[in-house]
């Protein structure tokens, strides 16, 4: 019997040195008594020869690389028999190079299972270590500490992971067997310690527990699946685990509550959002032709005016007209006919255009607002002025028409049309008599609305106003003529 003494639990190099010496002396596994750290020694240890008597006989011992890789992990397996069993496998490998590939061999099965257990434990340590903040160190480096109880002797195996992940904080991981310390430059290991070396709490843990509770879906309770991956042995050092029993216990009640709660009235916000989205969608939609836009305007729900009007009245005229005439909104007759300026105000407009020498058929004629707004008085529908909001909602359609027609001159009739073109209120008296250049280069002429002339009861005043109206139109025509030559 030879006694092979191992000083540390997870020191593969020490085991390898010993095993090499034993093999060189051709000591069979059954003749080695492995004395493990902390043991009293076996019954025979007094009788056995100490390994120091042995001398290297043969120069070289070979084994597959894979065995060294696995061995470095299996040496961490918490079983006193591992040193001996690893030696047995190494011994067998000397005469059977393919042994590791024999997946049904009992030694290989043992090796594979130990390796799996150690790798799993290391993985769980990477996963389940919970740092608590200790304070700030030199150069305001944050300092953290954790207490962890691994199943196997894996602290040294697992610690480099934390170094790669957290090189810029100081940290200590205390375990019963070994303490890992990182100070920014050096990762070193000292003997195991106590749970009391680590702070008892961390303010962030309340947030973490809240998250753990909230991400859990009580309608899918699968306790077995949880325990399979997070065995109870780890729970005592995981702050969130304290809530698990309550979470399980209340799950059924919470699920039932969801069912019994049933359906509540829809949040009224949804309808508001829906209409806003429809608006946005129309906004995003760019029509390619006037016909498409004319088609789409019929389903416009941007403002409530569609609720009572018969139809939306879109502009009409050549698609590349040089002059665009913008009125306020369709009236009673326009609402029925579906065409702009076909009522009394249209009559005044036509006459004035004629006098000013403008061909209405060559112009694109439209309105600032596409739906008829009215009040019912007895059997008549009386025109009502559109609000600024209604004009602004409808502006998008006017812009679409302007984008597609690309007129050189825009002629606005009345204050609503001015607001629709400029996006703000400007008095007509401040604009009349001169051309204004819009940001896209279009020239703007502003004048009154023909309906205004119809409302004037004083005949002399009406004639004066009509004259200025025609003058305004002439001015626009002169600019048109100049553009044409």
**Residue among 17, 194, 280, 320 that touches another protein (CB under 8 A):** 280
Cα-to-chain-centroid distance, residue 167: 29
Q: What is the DSSP letter of 387?
A: P
| Backbone torsions φ then ψ of 320, nearest 5 degrees | -125, 40
**Using rule CB under 8 A, residue 259 touches another protein:** yes
Looking at 6-14, 33-41, 275-283, 346-354, which segment touches another protein (CB under 8 A)?
Answer: 275-283
Instruction: Quote the DSSP letter at residue 424.
Output: S
Question: Is residue 165 near another protein by the rule CB under 8 A?
Answer: yes
- Does position 79 interact with another protein (CB under 8 A)? The reply is no
Question: Quick one: 20 or 235, whose CB is closer to another protein?
Answer: 235
Range 184-243, binding another protein (CB under 8 A):
202, 204-208, 210-226, 229-230, 238, 240-241
Cβ neighbours, 10 Å, residue 400? 22
What dihedral do alpha carbons 210, 214, 219, 220 form, nearest 10°? Answer: -80
Number of alpha helices (DSSP H) and beta strands (DSSP E) in the chain: 17, 15
Q: Could you say which of 8, 84, 169, 479 contacts another protein (CB under 8 A)?
A: 169
Stretch that binds another protein, among 65-73, 161-169, 360-368, 469-477 (CB under 8 A): 161-169
Options 26, 47, 94, 123; binder of another protein; rule CB under 8 A:
123
Q: Which is nearer to another protein, 53 or 164 (CB)?
A: 164
Q: How far is CA 15 from the centre of its chain?
A: 52
Pairing outcome for strands 443-447 and 409-413: parallel
Closest distance of CB 227 from another protein, Å:
8
Q: With binding defined as CB under 8 A, does residue 120 bind another protein?
A: no
Beta carbon nearer to another protein, 17 or 210? 210
422 contacts another protein (rule: CB under 8 A):
no
Of 84, 181, 248, 479, the one binding another protein (CB under 8 A) is: 248
Among residues 27, 129, 174, 446, the one that binds another protein under rule CB under 8 A: 129
Angstrom distances, CA of residue 108 to CA of 65, 87, 100, 154: 15, 13, 6, 21
Q: Which of 148, 145, 144, 143 is nearest to 125 (CA)?
A: 148
Range 432-471, binding another protein (CB under 8 A) = none
Write down the least CB distance from residue 114 to another protein, Å: 15
SS3 category, 154: coil
Phi-psi region of 9 (alpha: psi -120 to 50; beta: other; left: phi over 0): alpha
> Is there binding between residue 97 and another protein (CB under 8 A)?
no
Alpha carbon distance 224, 241 (integer Å): 15
The residue (of 16 and 122) whose beta carbon lies closer to another protein is 122
- Where does this chain touch another protein (CB under 8 A) — which range of 12-20, 259-267, 354-362, 440-448? 259-267
Number of residues that bind another protein (CB under 8 A): 76
247 binds another protein (CB under 8 A): yes
Q: Cα–Cα distances in Å, from 315 out to 294, 338, 392, 440?
A: 8, 10, 17, 21
- Residue nearer to another protein on the CB measure, 138 or 429: 138
Q: In what order do the strands lie in the sheet with 132-136?
A: 132-136, 142-147, 170-174, 178-182, 187-191
Q: If binding is defined by CB under 8 A, does position 161 make contact with another protein?
A: yes
Residue 59 in the binding site for another protein (CB under 8 A):
no
Check residue 180 for interaction with another protein (CB under 8 A): no
Q: Tokens 């007759």 belong to which residue? A: 333
Please, which of residues 8-37 interact with another protein by CB under 8 A? none
């Amino acid at each position: 019997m030879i006694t092979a003494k191992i000083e540390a639990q997870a020191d593969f190099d020490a085991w390898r040195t010993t095993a090499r010496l034993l093999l060189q002396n051709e000591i069979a596994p059954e003749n080695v008594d492995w004395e493990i750290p902390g043991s009293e020694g076996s019954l025979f240890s007094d009788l056995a020869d100490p390994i120091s008597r042995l001398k290297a006989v043969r120069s070289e011992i070979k084994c597959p690389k894979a065995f060294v890789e696995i061995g470095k992990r299996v040496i961490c397996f918490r079983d006193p028999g591992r040193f001996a069993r690893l030696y047995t496998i190494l011994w067998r490998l000397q005469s059977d190079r393919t042994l590791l590939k024999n997946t049904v061999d009992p030694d290989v099965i043992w090796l594979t299972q130990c390796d799996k257990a150690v790798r799993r434990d290391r993985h769980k340590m990477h996963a389940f270590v919970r740092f608590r903040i200790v304070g700030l160190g030199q150069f305001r480096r944050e300092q953290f500490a954790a207490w962890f109880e691994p199943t196997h002797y894996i602290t040294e195996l697992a610690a480099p992971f934390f170094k790669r992940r957290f090189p810029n904080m100081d940290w200590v991981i205390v375990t019963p067997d070994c303490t890992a310390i990182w100070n920014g430059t050096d990762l070193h290991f000292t003997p195991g310690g106590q749970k009391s070396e680590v702070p008892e709490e961390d303010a962030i843990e309340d947030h973490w527990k809240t998250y753990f509770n909230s991400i859990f879906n009580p309608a899918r309770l699968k306790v077995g699946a949880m325990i399979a991956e997070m065995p109870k042995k780890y729970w005592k050092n995981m702050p969130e685990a304290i809530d698990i029993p309550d979470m399980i216990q209340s799950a059924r009640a919470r699920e039932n509550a969801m069912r019994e709660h049933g359906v509540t009235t829809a949040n009224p916000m949804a309808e508001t959002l829906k209409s806003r989205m429809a608006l946005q969608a129309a906004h995003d939609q760019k029509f390619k032709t006037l016909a498409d836009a004319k088609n789409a305007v019929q389903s416009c729900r941007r403002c409530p005016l569609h609720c009572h009007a018969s139809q939306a009245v879109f502009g009409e005229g050549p698609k590349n007209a040089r002059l665009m005439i913008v009125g306020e909104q369709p009236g009673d007759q326009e609402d029925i006919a579906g065409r702009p300026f076909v009522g009394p105000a249209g009559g005044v407009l036509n006459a004035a255009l004629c006098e000013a020498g403008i061909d209405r058929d060559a112009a694109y004629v439209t309105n600032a607002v596409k739906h008829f707004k009215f009040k019912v008085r007895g059997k008549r529908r009386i025109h009502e002025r559109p609000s600024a909001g209604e004009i602004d909602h409808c502006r998008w359609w006017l812009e679409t028409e302007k984008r597609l027609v690309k007129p050189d001159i825009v002629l606005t009739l009345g204050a609503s049309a001015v607001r629709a073109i400029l996006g703000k209120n400007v008095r007509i008296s401040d604009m009349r008599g001169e051309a204004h250049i819009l940001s896209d280069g279009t020239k703007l002429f502003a004048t009154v609305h023909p309906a205004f002339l119809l409302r004037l009861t004083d005949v002399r005043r009406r004639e004066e106003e009509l004259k200025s109206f025609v003058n305004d139109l002439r001015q626009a025509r002169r600019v048109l003529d100049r553009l044409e030559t």
